[in-house]
Amino acid sequence: MIGRAARNPDIFAHDGVSICIILSFFIGLATSFGIGLLTLVVISFILAIRNYNQPRMLTYILIMVAVDPVMRTYLMGGVLFRYHSFDYLLLSLVLINFLYGGRVHLKPIRIYMFLLLWMIIGLLISKDIVLGGLSIVGYLGFLAFYLILWHAVDSPGFGDILHDGLRYGILASLLFSMLFFLSFGIEVFRQDLFDEFGGDYINPNSFSYMPLAGIVFSTLLVKLFGHSARKQLIIQLILFGIIGLSGSRGSFIVGGLAIFFSLSGAIRTTRLVFVRIIAYFILSFSATLLKTSGVYTLERLSTFFQEEKDLSTASSGRSEIAFIGFQMFKSRPLVGLGTGSFRETFAELTASYQYFGSDFLRKKQGDRIAAHSAYVKVMAENGLIGLILLTGFLLSIYKARTKDNFHIIAFSILVISLLSTEFNAKVPWFICAFTIVMYRKNTTFKHT
């Protein structure tokens, strides 16, 4: 059932895994989004375990990378697939590699290991050791992707393995992003409605990384395997429209950047009419859905362009969170407050009357709020030493770049993503590990 994709580069090739993904989608339509997603995750997880520590495992890992943001949130109440089950699988890969004498091969990885070690030391002074420990497990995702790719890249048929994984990831991202809106609609992103009436709530920034994964994978198909940029553009625009519906501005920027790179040098001026027609239909569909589902998404995206909005409103409170993070940093600048301490300390600080001048902080008084940015999180929890190590890690990737534009765009995706998300997002980590390994090994990609 799980044969290689036959010699058909089409993303919708009717092989066994594609059928399983499509079947999971229809199960979700017939029952619920959660049941459909659980079906897909169980299948992917079993296939990954069956190919444990083998190159083919990468194919099924990429399916879980595509749906991981929603999987971690929506299946949180499960037993087998709790919040960090995928992270535990990646953690086991890291442990097995080092138990059997695996080596850290490259300078960026060595710096990252020092950063990881410093974060582990930070647990000793943490106010929330459990949350800090779970954060460490999430940080290991990057190291796991690096090890998987490093050992798989020289294997026979690696091009087929990577190509299949990207196709399946795009298909899962596309179908389950659409299934999500068919099941819930835009209102599931309304935190105010969730607080007032109760019910399901998905953070729009977390959700948006599911369609974003599809866009990034599609860009890889274009740049690495020579897929038609115009054909992939249709899929990319649908996924980009879904990101727009979520109202996540960070993913909106990163997704647009990936699409721009995918199209660069691929579409002549005379072909832009085609692009505009497709874009018109996608935007028309989105506008219709918005008209029937509320203006919440437009309100979020419009804050980019409204000069009269203050910084707190324009950033949906991110600037205020960063401000509180800086107050944490000032209280213990060298070593930070300890890995996992941000939420607890945020609740303590915002309970103070001195911050009541901010509407956002007044509403969030005493709440345990996440940092929403890797840079803010490291600054507050791991201090100046953590910031230096994180900066050194990013600079080591930048300095190792080649003249190829793909390396530059991958680095940009990583840096921008860390502005609006913490370390648990799998897409930027995969792109980062992929870039380091591929250019270090000077690999040529082929698929049969």
| Model pTM score | 0.80
Q: Note the pLDDT of residue 268.
A: 46
Q: Quick one: tokens of 291?
A: 């008209």
In eight-state DSSP terms, residue 448 is: -
Q: List the end-to-end C-alpha distance of the chain, in Å, as a whole number.
A: 18
* pLDDT, averaged across the chain: 75
Share of the chain above pLDDT 70, in %: 69
Structure tokens at 410: 């991958």
CB 174 within 8 Å of CB 213: no
How many other CB atoms are found less than 10 A from the CB of residue 327?
A: 16
pLDDT of residue 88 exceeding 90, the answer is no
User: For residue 372, what pLDDT is reported?
Assistant: 79
* Tens-place pLDDT, residues 310-347: 545 545 567 778 888 888 999 999 999 999 888 888 88
Give the 3-state secondary structure of 242-283.
Answer: HHHHHCCHHHHHHHHHHHHHHHCCCCCHHHHHHHHHHHHHHH
pLDDT greater than 80 at residue 99 = no
Query: Would you state the pLDDT for residue 165?
Result: 92
pLDDT at 78: 43
pLDDT band at 169; cut points 50, 70, 90: very high
pLDDT at position 104: 63
Is residue 375 scored above 50 in pLDDT?
Answer: yes
Residue with tokens 């969730």: 194
Per-residue pLDDT tens digits for 110-122: 888 899 999 999 9
The residue type of 246 is S
Q: What is the pLDDT of residues 141-162, one digit of tens each?
A: 888 888 888 888 888 888 888 8
Q: Please state the φ and ψ torsions of residue 272, each to the nearest 5 degrees.
A: -65, -25
pLDDT tens per residue across span 260-303: 777 765 544 434 444 444 444 444 444 444 444 444 554 555 55
φ/ψ bin of 442: left (φ > 0), alpha (ψ from -120 to 50), beta (otherwise): left
Lowest mean pLDDT among 6-10, 39-43, 356-360, 374-378: 6-10
Per-domain residue ranges of the chain: 16-308+372-441
Residue 146's SS3 state is helix
Res 6 pLDDT > 50: no
**434 closest CA partner among 122, 60, 147, 11:** 147
User: Is 5 in contact with 163 (CB distance < 8 Å)?
Assistant: yes
